Amino acid sequence: MSDNFYMGTYDVIVVGAGHAGCEAALATARLGLKTLIFSINLEAVAMMACNPSIGGTGKGHLVREIDALGGEMAVNIDKASIQSRMLNTAKGPAVHSLRTQADKLAYHVSMKKVLESQDNLDIKQAEVTDLVVEDGAVKGIITKTGALYNAKAVILATGTFLRGRIFIGKWNYEGGPNGLSAAIELSANLKKHNIGLRRFKTGTPARLDGKTLDYSKMLEQPGDEEIIPFSFLNDKLEISQVSCWLTYTNQNTHNVILQNLDRSALFGGYIEGVGPRYCPSIEDKLVRFSDKERHQLFIEPEGLYTDEVYVQGMSSSLPEDVQEMFYKTIPGLENAKIVRPAYAIEYDCIDPLDLKLSLEHRNVANLFCAGQINGSSGYEEAAAQGLMAGINAAHKLKGREPFILDRSEGYIGVLIDDLVTKGTNEPYRIMTSRAEYRLLLRQDNADLRLTEKGHEIGLVSKERYEKFLLKKEMIENEMERIKTTYIKPDEANEFLKKCESSPIKNRVTLLELLRRPELSYQMLAEIDKDRPEISKSAAQQIEIQVKYMGYIEKQLNQIDKFKKLENKRLDESIDYSQIDGLRIEAQQKLNKLKPESVGQASRISGVSPADINVLLIYLERERRKKEHDRK
């Protein structure tokens, strides 16, 4: 006889309240579904267990897209911001990325309050130990204390808690991030339901007492003079910015680490999980990049409420005494006191190849997965998946088609397609280089690309939508005006000479002048007497669209070709082993992954261009056969 006791029924249950879980639960609740979110500890809601920041290269694009679709991350970081910087401004707008330092406590408190205030959403502190699965579909969950909750859909967003193990030197123990408990029992239950697991690893640097640092020996890294908000809802932010600081390792640092390499959990053979290549530990950096004389370290404040600082670039699994030694070799840290030691953490995650593009698991119906359980790394990647899993769980329960963003529509589409189509053998991190169409997928135009979609889904508020429509109209009207407004030589040449730009002999449009690299939209105001008043963000869009017109046109043509393959749908019932001409490896991969389109099939490892041609011939043959049968 079971000791479990019934505690309620929900439309959706979300397991985990990190960045993925918060977005997932808010999405389903806002779409009218009765939702319950579990956290192993309510202090872990939207916890920043690693770096105290949101955004960065590629990641800032994800945050802006989450915002445009009606998610919460951008709104929340704007509330908790203590420093703002736009990265990569020396390069083109495709790779500009906003990064904001956060007050970690404020970020947690603010997001927790949003959850608590949301209609249709209940929050509970408990460890989920079992999924209830019947006839191949999830039906609910059971907690460690025996409480049974029924649900029509479940979203797993377990982060690094799933069978988490902390490593500091040769010492290791069961544990979650930041001193919290791990979720130990759920892993065995997932395996029982034919959900395969594997082991990944990540880590975090030590936290130092900021009062013990000598900032005069470091380079100050202030925020930008002009603060650009993350959320499109905010036109400006008024905050008192705090500085970060830059220092470097040196040969003494490296000697301490290399002499104690055998005491590292990573190099001592204690860790079995695969770590992130793009965010290695300091000992891993020294081994892999032995030619480098120094590595940069950023000292980042954890918030306004504390003296703790985060040492970005110094993740480690060395024992505490070695950490004490190597920190004291770094300029400015000679007297540093460690408040929290660095550690590595191993955790269970699934193979994302077991997911559909909707993030629903292939082996268990109505079970969705989001965040680090899918093999990704980072708050922003997690939040993006959480939002999409929440939307798709709601769509599934409402009988609507899945909401899928393809690679030409957003970095979110790139992220999810990479995970579920290509898979990953290490914690996946988004980068601008992963996006083929990055000139069109800029962080500055995420609202123009995705707000309409968010509105159709039902997550974009009336206020946001009206603001979007006004901006869109502003841009369209001004683009039309500069195309049809002509400037004569006697009106422009004195101005052009002053700007070191070639004079004109005949009248030209404002658009033609704006295409000149040395001229900006703002500069042209001097000769553009009838210019209407438009927002700064609208002006930015006009300038980028005009400056990069030729490149944008080229990329749009590439997307047209891409869409042709994406629009050729593949039925899930196709048995690829019965298609003559497909290589055996392609048959096996296609039958396992069941791609939803020819485009997705073309990105599967092991499926060649020749196999895609065979598929196209097969589809055309099937189309003609159906036409013939109808006649």
In this prediction, residue 267 carries a pLDDT of 84
Same domain, 66 and 146: yes
Strands 296-301 and 244-248: antiparallel
Residue 505: DSSP 8-state: S
Instruction: Report the percent of the chain where pLDDT is more than 70.
Output: 100
What are the pLDDT digits (tens) for 178-232? 999 999 999 999 999 999 999 999 999 999 999 999 999 999 999 999 999 999 9
In this prediction, residue 164 carries a pLDDT of 96
Whether the CB-CB separation of 434 and 58 falls below 8 Å is answered with: yes
Whether the CB-CB separation of 598 and 568 falls below 8 Å is answered with: yes
Max intra-chain CA distance, the chain = 94
Residue 195 lies in a domain: no
Whether the CB-CB separation of 471 and 535 falls below 8 Å is answered with: yes
Q: Closest by alpha carbon to 349, among 510, 160, 627, 531?
A: 160
Same domain, 95 and 227: no
The domain that contains 144 carries what CATH number? 3.50.50.60
The domain that contains 327 carries what CATH number? 2.40.30.260
Same domain, 449 and 408: yes
Same domain, 274 and 149: no
Please report the DSSP string for 507-525 in residue order.
-EEHHHHHTSTT--TTGGG
**Distance in angstroms (rounded) separating the CA atoms of residues 93 and 75:** 23
Out of 457, 472, 502, a domain closes at 457
**Distance in angstroms (rounded) separating the CA atoms of residues 628 and 631:** 5
Same domain, 414 and 475: no
Q: Is 300 helix (H, G, I), strand (E, B) or coil?
A: strand
Residue 478 lies in a domain: yes
Same domain, 412 and 476: no
Instruction: Please state the pTM of the whole predicted model.
Output: 0.96
If you search the block for the tokens 């082991």, which residue do you land on?
Answer: 199
Q: For residue 1, what pLDDT band results from cuts at 50, 70 and 90?
A: very low
Residue 92 lies in a domain: yes
What are the pLDDT digits (tens) for 471-480? 999 999 999 9
Residue 192 lies in a domain: no
What are the pLDDT digits (tens) for 299-352? 999 999 999 999 999 999 999 999 999 999 999 999 999 999 999 999 999 999
Residue 75 lies in a domain: yes
The domain that contains 614 carries what CATH number? 1.10.150.570
The alpha carbon torsion through 17, 454, 402, 63 (nearest 10 deg) reads -50
Range 591-608 burial, b when 16+ CB lie within 10 A, else e: eebbbbbbbbbbebeebe
Out of 324, 343, 362, a domain closes at 343
Residue 201 lies in a domain: no
Same domain, 337 and 363: no
What are the pLDDT digits (tens) for 409-425? 999 999 999 999 999 99
Mean pLDDT calculated for residue range 425-451: 95
- Is it the case that residue 236 has pLDDT exceeding 80? yes
**Distance in angstroms (rounded) separating the CA atoms of residues 14 and 48:** 19
Token pair belonging to 248: 């470097």
Out of 292, 323, 343, a domain closes at 343
Domain that holds residue 19: 5-159+351-457
The domain that contains 550 carries what CATH number? 1.10.10.1800
Same domain, 250 and 119: no
Residue 302 lies in a domain: yes
Residue 359 lies in a domain: yes
Same domain, 337 and 219: yes
Within the chain, how many helices (H) and strands (E) appear?
Answer: 19, 22
Same domain, 540 and 424: no
Q: What is the mean pLDDT of the chain?
A: 95
Please report the DSSP string for 171-187 in residue order.
EEEE--GGGPPPB-SHH
Domain count, the chain: 4
**Distance in angstroms (rounded) separating the CA atoms of residues 627 and 25:** 45
Beta bridge partners of residue 37, listed in sequence order: 14, 123
Residue 453 identity: K
At a CB cut-off of 8 Å and minimum separation 6, what does 19 contact?
46, 73, 371, 379, 380, 382, 383, 386
**Distance in angstroms (rounded) separating the CA atoms of residues 141 and 13:** 8
Token pair belonging to 457: 């889904």
Same domain, 276 and 398: no
Same domain, 76 and 152: yes
